[in-house]
């Protein structure tokens, strides 16, 4: 593992044991302005979140129709209270696809998935893998925010299911990372706990795309002792991508 990766993991709050001769190099990285900014971003809501720009030009017809369908969707009651429908963000030819649960207040306001404090931690997790937001595709099971951040209802999940199926079909990712309980249950059609589902390679529908389950960054902010497990999940996902 490189010293830069050590630095990112330290910024995430994950302790990594290392040889003594590597300590000085890691300390130099940790003291650099770049990593100090990353450490601050994990706790400071005032810093901007790095988000991938929308790709509005030269979209395939399928993407244009899909995006318009989501933005103008009124299939369930969630559309009545939304500020923005959250389509997704990142590369539409990505090997990695991250699927979260539902937009929260920050996502509803900005129209982007995984922003706010949870998004800052998510960015750090990607950086530790050597990835950036623009390298992956990020979306949610449900595209509009449920009131009070409650769990989506069954009919709301059903109304959005076709949108995610289309996104997977268009992107053809090599791995899907189900981020959080709702995402895992919806993708895998079961109700097992995240702790039971993680650490295994699952498959998504007829596409047979590999699926790895991990904890949601919002949960990790409340339970920082689980960050190491989330990091292990991402390493497991990377091993699947490398082998494919």
pLDDT beneath 70: ranges in the chain: 1-60
At 30 the pLDDT is 39
At 1 the pLDDT is 56
Rounded to 5 degrees, φ, ψ at 109 are -75, -40
* Contacts of the segment 9-15: beta carbons below 8 A, 24+ positions apart: 9/128, 9/231, 10/35, 10/39, 11/35, 11/38, 11/39, 11/42, 11/124, 12/42, 12/121, 12/124, 12/125, 12/128, 12/227, 12/231, 13/42, 13/224, 13/227, 14/227, 14/228, 14/231, 15/228
User: Tell me: the pLDDT tens digits for 175-232?
Assistant: 999 999 999 999 999 999 999 999 999 999 877 899 999 999 999 999 999 999 999 9
For 52-243, which CATH class?
alpha beta
State the pTM of this model: 0.78
User: What is the rounded distance in angstroms from the CA atom of residue 144 to the CA atom of residue 80?
Assistant: 10
């Amino acid at each position: 593992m490189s010293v830069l990766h050590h630095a990112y993991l330290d910024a995430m709050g994950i302790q990594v044991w290392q040889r003594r001769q590597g300590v000085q190099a890691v300390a130099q990285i940790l003291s650099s302005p770049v990593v100090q900014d990353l450490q601050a971003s994990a706790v400071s809501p005032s810093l901007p979140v790095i988000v991938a720009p929308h790709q509005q030009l030269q979209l395939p017809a399928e993407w244009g129709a899909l995006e318009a369908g989501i933005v103008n969707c009124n299939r369930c009651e969630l559309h009545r209270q939304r500020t923005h429908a959250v389509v997704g963000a990142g590369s539409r030819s990505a090997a990695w696809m991250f699927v979260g649960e539902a937009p929260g207040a920050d996502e509803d306001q900005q129209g982007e998935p995984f922003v706010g404090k949870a998004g800052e931690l998510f960015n750090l997790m990607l950086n530790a893998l050597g990835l950036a937001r623009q390298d992956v595709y990020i979306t949610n099971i449900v595209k509009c925010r449920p009131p009070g951040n409650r769990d989506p209802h069954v009919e709301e999940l059903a109304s959005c299911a076709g949108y995610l199926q289309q996104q997977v079909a268009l992107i053809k990712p090599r791995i899907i990372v189900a981020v959080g309980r709702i995402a895992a249950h919806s993708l895998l059609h079961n109700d097992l706990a995240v702790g039971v589902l993680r650490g295994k390679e699952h498959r998504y529908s007829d596409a047979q795309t590999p699926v790895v389950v991990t904890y949601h960054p919002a949960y990790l902010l409340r339970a920082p002792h689980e960050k190491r497990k989330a990091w292990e999940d991402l390493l497991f996902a990377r091993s699947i991508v490398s082998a494919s």
